[in-house]
Homo-oligomer: A and B are copies of this chain.
Amino acid sequence: MELVNQADLDALFEFLPCRTPEAWIQEALKQEEILLQNHCYLEQCAARNALQLMFRCPDKADVLSKMSKLAREELRHFEKVHELLTKRGYTYKILKPSRYAGLLNAEIRKKEPGQLVDSLIVGAYIEARSCERFASLAPHMDEEISAFFRSLLKSEARHFKDYLALAQRYSEEPIEERVAFFGAIERDAIETPDELFRFHSGVPA
């Protein structure tokens, strides 16, 4: 199994505004079923988002190519999480979503090219946070889930960079300011109390 290298992981931790709070990790260890159900759903959502970007950008060959491959990988992950979930006797269901993606998506500009650039930056945060959560959880989970999460790190770390590179490519100005803007929202979503436990939720209330 090809694993992520530490430098890639360090770049990702540097991009994110904060690490996952310890309290979330402790809660996740008690909520394996919800964690896997929601992870499974988020892989579907990641594929759908990539596909939606493809429909919005028929003229952008690099968006089409990167997003098509990304969607295929997310679907492959979906199949694997679903298999693991079923093997453990859990039933897949779509749960009420956490506030996380909604808080980020709400701030996406409504006009192009800002809309595309922001969508790509939000995509980068979602992928990076997922990757950071896999890395944070892996040492604490049983061998099977731990190995699975580690196997996901490599592609998820690539996805975040792909999103960010496309955001810069299609922005008329440097993206640092927008990245910092969404970073502040992301940090807030991760570090403040959250009623609902989910894969991307904040500190358990």
Chain A: residues with CB nearer than 8 A to chain B?
Answer: 41, 44, 47-48, 51, 54-55, 58-59, 61, 64-65, 68-69, 71-72, 75-76, 78-79, 82, 86, 91-94
Q: How far is the CA of A69 from the CA of B93 in the complex (A)?
A: 19
Is the pair B65, A79 in contact by a Cβ cutoff of 8 Å? yes
Q: Which residues of B contact A54 (CB under 8 A)?
A: 44
Q: Which residues of B contact A93 (CB under 8 A)?
A: 58-59
Please give me the residue from chain B that is nearest to A54 by CB atom: B44
Q: Give the residue of B58, B64, B72, B92 whose beta carbon is less than 8 angstroms from that of A76.
A: B72
Is the pair A68, B75 in contact by a Cβ cutoff of 8 Å? yes
Q: Which residues of B contact A59 (CB under 8 A)?
A: 91-93
Most buried by B among A41, A54, A58: A58
Q: Is the interface of A mostly helix, strand, loop or mixed?
A: helix
Nearest CB of chain B from residue A149's CB, rounded to whole Å: 20
Q: Other CB < 8 Å A-B pairs besides A47-B71, A71-B71, A72-B72, 11 of them? A: A48-B51, A58-B92, A59-B91, A59-B93, A61-B82, A64-B78, A64-B82, A65-B82, A69-B79, A71-B75, A72-B76
Q: A79-B68, A82-B64 are in contact. Are A51 and B44 (CB under 8 A)?
A: yes
Nearest CB of chain B from residue A36's CB, rounded to whole Å: 13
Q: How far is the CA of A54 from the CA of B65 in the complex (A)?
A: 23
Please give me the residue from chain B that is nearest to A55 by CB atom: B44
30 contacts between A and B (CB under 8 A): A41-B58, A44-B51, A44-B54, A44-B55, A47-B71, A48-B51, A48-B55, A51-B51, A55-B94, A58-B92, A58-B93, A58-B94, A59-B91, A59-B92, A59-B93, A61-B82, A64-B78, A64-B82, A64-B92, A65-B79, A65-B82, A68-B75, A68-B78, A68-B79, A69-B75, A71-B71, A71-B75, A72-B72, A72-B75, A72-B76
4 nearest A-B pairs in the assembled complex, by CB-CB distance: A72-B72, A68-B75, A58-B94, A72-B75
Q: How far is the CA of A59 from the CA of B92 in the complex (A)?
A: 7
